[in-house]
């Protein structure tokens, strides 16, 4: 059975990279006694895939891992077992059974929701409320994106789906996170601060960025319909 595991990553563990997270779960699943399926051949490994890798220093409440299991005793038992083998900073939130037709987590990602707050908890982003409508009204928002082939200018405006200041003064946005049009949060925030004339004042080291959720798109090319990745599966 294909299973989708949703987990949170926070605290000091936000500074470990994607490969370390993958190795951690390989060991945690063995310690938890989860009956994970393995590939065949001379070097078998757990059948496992992750959604969009999380940048270093970013908290998350919406990370996803797909695995295959040979047997199980229900979702609640699996969540309890894995959390019992985890460490502070990684917590499994839920487990869902995937239909055979479901694409893997990485291929399914279409968008991601982020929130930004000052680490000190004092300052807020309400001063941006009057500037965001004009920022989004731009036909193009061009940034310099680093690629394997060097630097390239990229228009990120089509990939910004939502951007607003929350009631408590935080900043929240929904942006493209697909492999084809991924909008890096740092590039979006830098463009916003540049538009607001505050480029030199952007205190990014004082911000805490949190990835709240990852979405797949069940809509059409004309109209997107973003659904959290764990809504693809079913309870078991």
Q: What is the pLDDT of residue 140?
A: 97
Tokens for 15? Answer: 């500074």
Residue with tokens 């408590």: 168
Nearest C-alpha neighbor of 116 from the set 64, 195, 188: 188
Q: What is the pLDDT of residue 122?
A: 66
Are the beta carbons of 221 and 212 closer than 8 angstroms? Answer: no
Tokens for 139? Answer: 């036909």
Q: Outline where the chain has alpha helix (H).
A: 18-32, 75-84, 105-108, 132-137, 185-195
Opening angle at CA 118, ends 209 and 198, nearest 5: 95
Separation CA 56–CA 175 (nearest Å)? 18
Cβ-Cβ contacts under 8 Å for 190 (sequence gap 6 or more): 143, 199, 202
Q: What is the pLDDT of residue 204?
A: 66
pLDDT in tens, the chain (236 residues): 999 999 999 999 999 999 999 999 999 999 999 999 999 989 999 999 999 999 999 999 999 999 999 999 999 999 999 999 999 999 999 999 999 888 888 889 999 999 999 887 667 899 999 999 999 999 999 999 877 778 889 999 999 999 999 999 999 999 999 988 899 999 999 999 999 998 776 666 688 999 999 999 999 988 999 999 999 989 99
Q: Is 66 exposed, middle or buried (0-12, 13-18, 19+ CB in 10 A)?
A: buried
Neighbours of 77 (CB within 10 A): 14
Are the beta carbons of 65 and 25 closer than 8 angstroms? Answer: yes
Are the beta carbons of 142 and 155 closer than 8 angstroms? Answer: yes
Q: What is the pLDDT of residue 199?
A: 77
| Per-residue CA distances from 142 to 110, 167, 218 (Å) | 21, 29, 28
Tokens for 93? Answer: 């939130």
Q: Outline where 122-200 has alpha helix (H).
A: 132-137, 185-195
Q: What is the pLDDT of residue 116?
A: 94
Separation CA 122–CA 72 (nearest Å)? 47
């Amino acid at each position: 059975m294909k299973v989708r595991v949703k987990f949170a990553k926070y605290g000091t563990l936000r500074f470990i990279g994607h490969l370390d997270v993958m190795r951690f779960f390989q060991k945690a699943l063995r310690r938890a006694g989860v009956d994970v399926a393995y590939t065949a051949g001379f070097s078998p490994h757990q059948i496992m895939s992750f959604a969009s890798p999380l940048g270093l220093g970013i908290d998350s409440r919406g990370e996803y891992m797909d695995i295959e299991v040979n047997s199980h005793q229900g979702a609640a038992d699996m969540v309890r077992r894995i959390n019992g083998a985890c460490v502070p900073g990684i917590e499994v939130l839920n487990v869902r059974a995937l239909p055979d037709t479901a694409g893997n987590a990485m291929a399914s990602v279409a968008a991601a929701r982020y929130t930004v707050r000052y680490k000190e908890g004092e300052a807020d982003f309400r001063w941006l409320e009057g500037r965001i409508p004009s920022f989004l009204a731009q036909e193009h928002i061009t940034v310099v994106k680093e690629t394997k082939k060097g630097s390239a200018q990229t228009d990120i405006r089509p990939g910004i789906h939502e951007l607003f200041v929350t009631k408590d003064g935080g900043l929240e946005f929904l942006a493209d996170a697909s492999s084809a049009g991924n909008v890096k949060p740092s590039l979006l925030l830098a463009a916003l601060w540049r538009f607001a004339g505050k480029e030199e004042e952007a205190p990014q080291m004082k911000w805490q960025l949190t990835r709240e959720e990852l979405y797949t798109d069940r809509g059409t090319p004309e109209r997107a319909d973003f659904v959290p990745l764990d809504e693809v599966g079913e309870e078991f």
